[in-house]
Chains A and B, each alone.
Chain A
Amino acid sequence: MSEAGPDPAIAVEGLTKSFGQVRALRGIDLSVPRGSVLGVLGPNGAGKTTAVRILTTLLAPDGGRATVNGYDVVRHAAAVRRSIGLSGQAPAIQEELTGRENLEIIGRLYHLSWAEARSRAGELLEQFDLTEAARRPAKTYSGGMQRRLDLAASLVGRPSVLFLDEPTTGLDPRSRLGMWDIIRSLAASGTTILLTTQYLDEADELADAIVVIDHGRVIAEGTAEQLKSRIGGDVLEFTVPDRARLGDAVAAVKRVGGAEPHADAEAGLITVGVGSRGSEALIEAVRALDGAGVTTRGLALRRPSLDDVFLALTGHAAEEDGQPPGRRGRGRRAGGPGGRAAGWQDGRGGERQLAGRAAGRRPGIDQGGE
């Protein structure tokens, strides 16, 4: 991203970090222009949180350099802390305290006077639609409200750079859309935002530029459109109800598409990039599948999603922790308390997404996740 200009809000060069044998970051470069939103996209364990922890001065890098607002995150950590906000997986709020008390005390920690801390808390409660709940202990809040309060806490010091580490993970769909609106309006007001996410649609919706991280490396960057164009056109997608015929279906469409088809055995879903051949490829696919005697469902041509991009770049889907598709799902279903516990550890991302889809069924649990 050479068009970043002379003074990016966040500049990262060759950042590395290992935890024992695990190389969490293997040389990351980033540049985030002022006032823009960078989406850092990657599966669990890709290194997103490690990168955020280094940029917010919580962790020292092994190698490379990083500046935020021109301040070196190691040498000028105190100055970095004064100009950033962090919200995400670790909660800043104390559940026993009311929303207002939480924000006032954080205001004091940003060295506002009591009067300033009070008025800033009032402003933020208003802005995040928490005025009515302001006098209640935060533990009575819904998952979405707690997340909003937490985000409000990160804005007490009016940061010019905001780090959002998976801001919607574990939220129900409605709260998630609400959070998106808030993030959009923060971006519109000129705040530079670095947002990590494992949701491809989230990066697509919110980010001006996207960096895809996998196994501690940047494997692709660009706008959502640029990344999608990497697929080279449209995607053909269909389901094979009879899983036994999955292999035949793949063989049939292999001759049609330019790219290798991807089959998700669990869902019986096959996707294949067909380039610019669009409807022509569609007709050929129908003929080939018909010729092979494979019954399909929902055969359609669509524009590529970032899911397809991730699949094309890494060979595995974004939300599968780099494991072969379906493996984790089976592990989790394999009952027994021991197996369940292992599945929880293994499939944390999956579990959280599940909780999110279940519309805040267990807000207490997904809140305390990490």
Chain B
Amino acid sequence: MLGIDQKNILKRIRGRVLLNNVLKGLFFASTTIGLIFLALLLYRILTQGIGYLNSGFITSFPAPYPEEAGIFAGLIGSLLMIAIVAPVAIILGVGTAIFLEEYAYKNRWTKFIQINIQNLAGVPSIVYGLLGLTFFVYMLRLGYTLLAGGLTMSLLVLPVIVVAAQEAIRSVPSDIKEASYGMGASKWQTIRRVILPAALPGILTGTILALSRAIGETAPLIIVGAATALYTLPDSLLSKYTVMPIQIFNWTGRPQEEWQFVAAAGILVLLIVLLFMNAIAVFIRNKFQKRY
């Protein structure tokens, strides 16, 4: 029998328990700090904006008086833009991810593409605005329209979706892929019936992040010509449009104090739309989630 030195073990355990507690405290503090700032932000926005947030605010067009100003044009514009960004960015993004993960040969070339996509996710958004201006507005002659704005935003969020979808596809266990091949399924059948369903939750998480970014961006849309004041709703893909962040940005810059409250009300509407979008995505994700 080996002699167990109780004393020594106790001494060592004390150190480990201490370290454990210190780390626990550290992680708890990180979470709390984030939450405190979030709560402060929400509190400030709520107390400032709630007074101006009413049905009139949601259904009115911009006006020169703070009490009459509304976000209707921006709200509809933002929703229509998401209706363009979501299909374009998801189809292109997930398609790219499937190709890179499942079809492309793993060589230096794909690695090079890979790194570039990851870098694109960090390019300042204004650069995408300039790209959209030269390519969609001028070269494709789309003009300063909803379609040009939506396509520009699709490009902006594409890298985020590609990277997230790749990560999700890669994390599908190879046993089930091989099982599918073993049963005689073709590559496409495997992708459609095995890989995509398994990767769906991860892809959706990336999509939520991407669309949240698209709905909150201002700078690139100013470049591609989103209006600040508009009294009609877009009636086609080639109409003029405005979006919520541009209206909010305009209100925050005004000298009169009441406009700050109008801006806060606008931020509240934006947050509500964002929450609603995320709720839909979480619902879909939970419904189709399957863990391996």
Tell whether A and B belong to one assembly: no
